[in-house]
A and B are shown apart, each in its own frame.
Chain A
C-alpha cells in the first residue's frame, strides 16, 4: 500500500487525467471513462479506444485496434503470474490477479516480488494494484472535467507521463542482457515495423522480432560468459 502512494500512482493519475479528457472529447459520459479505467486498465489501450471512437470507426474495427495494442499483456502476464502463483492458488484467483496486470503493477511486481516470500506476494500485489487503480479511477473522473481548461502544453505533458515513466522504469529494473537488448531493439525496430507491417500489426511484429533478437543475444552472452 505504501509503495502505491508514490511515483507509480502519480504517473498513472497524470496519464488517466489525459484519458478522462479524451473521453469527454468524444462526447461520452464521465462514467464511461471511469468504466474504461476499471475494465480496460491500460492507458495506451484506452487512448486507442477513444481515438478510434473519435474517428468514427466501426465496433469490430475499434475492438481489433484495442486488442492489438493490448497484446503485450500476454507476455507480461505470463512473466508475472508464475511469481504470484502458489502451490494451491485457485484458477479464479489467477484470473482476478491477471486483470490487474498493466505496466504499473507489472514493473513494480517484477522489481519487488522475486525478493518476497511466496505467501506474501498475492496480498502485496492486490494491495498495491487496488490502490493505484483507485487513484487512477478518480483521476479519470477528474480529467473529464479538468482537461478542457488546461493549456495544450500541459495536456501534452499528461499524455507524455506514462511513456516517459515506462522508459525510465524499464531502465531502472533491467537486470540482465536480454532486458537491455529488448529495450534497444524495441526502440530501433519500431519505426521500421510501422512502415513494413499492415496497419495495427506493427507492435506485434516489432515485439516478436525485437524480443527474439534480445533472447538470442542473451543466450549468446551467457554462452560467452560460460553461464
Chain B
C-alpha cells in the first residue's frame, strides 16, 4: 500500500486532488463540443448538476466535516432554514440570507 506520508505533499495534491477532479472537466469539454446552448439534453444535464449541488449541501448537513461537526444536526438544518427565510425576508438577497444563517450557527456554536 502506498503511504501518503512518503511522497511530497505537492505531488499528493496533483495526483489525488487535481487530476481526479479535472478529468470530469476535460471529459465535459469533449462531450459538449457539438452541443448548442439551446439543446434539450442540457435541460437534463442542468437538472443533474442542480441535484448534485443540492446533494453536496445535504451531505454536509448529514455528515459534516471539520468544525461543523461541533454544531448539533438540528441546528445545522435550522441554520439553512433561517438562511432561506432571511433570503426571502430581505428582498431575495443572497447576502442577507448568508448572514442570517451564519448568525444562527455562530450563536448556537457559542452557546453550546
A15 to chain B, nearest CB (A): 11
**Residue A172 lies at the interface, judged by CB distance under 8 Å to chain B:** yes
Q: Report the bound CA distance from A201 to B2 in whole Å.
A: 23
- A42 interface neighbour in B12, B21, B27, B63, Cβ under 8 Å: B21
Q: What chain A residues lie within 8 Å of B57 (beta carbons)?
A: 163, 166-167, 187
Q: Which of A142-171 contact B (CB under 8 A)?
A: 151-161, 163-171
Interface string of A1-43 (1 = CB under 8 A from B): 0000011000100000010011000001101100110011110
Q: Given that A63-B16, A82-B32, A160-B101 are known contacts, is A75 also in contact with B45, CB under 8 Å in the complex? A: yes
**Residue B106 lies at the interface, judged by CB distance under 8 Å to chain A:** yes
Q: Which of A72-115 contact B (CB under 8 A)?
A: 72-79, 81-83, 85, 91, 94-95, 98-99, 101, 103, 106, 110, 114
Q: Is the CB of B9 within 8 A of A172?
A: no
**Residue B74 lies at the interface, judged by CB distance under 8 Å to chain A:** no
A: interface residue count bin: 35 or more
B: interface residue count bin: 35 or more
Q: Is the CB of B50 within 8 A of A179?
A: yes
Q: Report the bound CA distance from A101 to B17 in whole Å.
A: 15
Q: Given that A70-B20, A74-B28, A163-B57 are known contacts, is A156 also in contact with B52, CB under 8 Å in the complex? A: no
**11 A–B contacts from the bound complex (CB under 8 Å):** A7-B98, A57-B4, A62-B12, A101-B28, A156-B68, A157-B102, A167-B84, A182-B47, A185-B54, A193-B55, A211-B48
Task: Please report A residues at the B interface, Cβ cutoff 8 Å.
Answer: 6-7, 11, 18, 21-22, 28-29, 31-32, 35-36, 39-42, 44-47, 49, 51-53, 56-60, 62-64, 66-67, 69-79, 81-83, 85, 91, 94-95, 98-99, 101, 103, 106, 110, 114, 151-161, 163-172, 176, 178-179, 181-187, 189-191, 193-194, 202-203, 206-212, 214-215, 218
